[in-house]
Structures are given as C-alpha cells and as structure tokens.
Structure 1
C-alpha cells in the first residue's frame, strides 16, 4: 500500500481547515491534493482528534503484527502435519 505524504496529524489539520469555513477546492489546491483524496481522508479521519488518530495507528500496527504471527503459526502447523503424515 502506498504511503501518504502527509502524517495523520497533518491530515486532521487539513480537514479542520475545511471545517472552519474554507472551501474544499481551496483547501485541496493549497495542499496539492485532489478532491477524491480529500474525501478519502475525510471518510477515514473525519471527526477525529490527533490523539484518536494515534490510537488508531497503534491499533493498526498491533493488528498487523498479530496477523503476521497467526500466519506464521498456521504455516508451522501445516508443516508439522505434513511431516507427521509421511511414513518413515
């Protein structure tokens, strides 16, 4: 997945600018993003504060680690079953 050139805190700042009364087009032009990108950010971070975004990022990182551990464990189990099923 491609990384954003903005941090979560910067994205929330961009959204707050629009909420404070600036037109969406002007905000997008100022920060060099498309309107589609703006609305994607709004769908993900709309109504969040910076602390909420940090918690979300921490949970996403933890979830990725747990998924990796689960995949490794399932692979180990598959290998052990394969070895156990062979006749010596």
Structure 2
C-alpha cells in the first residue's frame, strides 16, 4: 500500500489552520494537495486530536489484519470440507 507523504501531525496542523480561518484553496496550494484530499481528511479526522487519530489508524490496521486472518482460516476450512466430501 502506498504510504502518505503527509504525517499525522501535518494533517492535524492543516486541519487546525482551516479551522482558524485560512482559505482552503490557499492551504491546498501551500501544501501541494488537492481540495478533495483536504475534504477527505476533514470528514475522516475532523474534530479529532492527534492521539485519537493515531488510535484510529491502529484500529484500522488491526481490523485489516483480522480480516486477512479470517479469510485464511475460511479458505483452510473450505479446503478441508472439500477434501472430506471427496473422501467419502
């Protein structure tokens, strides 16, 4: 997966600047990002502080890991069931 060139603290500072009244097009131009990226961050991280944002990212990573584990176990289960059905 592609990593972001924007750190969590930078994202939070950009959102704080927007809350302080800096125009969105100026922020986007200054930081080299699109307005769509800004509004995506605002919808995802708006109202959070840095610790909450870090926790959210940890939970998303754990959720992805658990989904992969479930898919692997489901695949193993399907293979075993197919082998048992063919044997009898």
Aligned residue runs from structure 1 range 15-34, under 5 A? 15-34=15-34
Gaps of 5+ in 2: none
Q: TM-score, normalised by structure 1?
A: 0.91
**Offset, 1:2:** 4.1
2:65 counterpart residue number? 65
Query: How far, CA to CA, are the matches of 2:2 and 2:40 in structure 1?
Result: 14
How many residue pairs align between the two structures? Answer: 88
Tell me how large the CA RMSD over aligned residues is: 1.4
Cα deviation digits, residues 26-48 of structure 1 (max 9, x gap): 11111011111111111111111
Gaps of 5+ in 1: none
After TM superposition, where is structure 1 displaced by more than 3 Å over at least 4 residues in a row? none
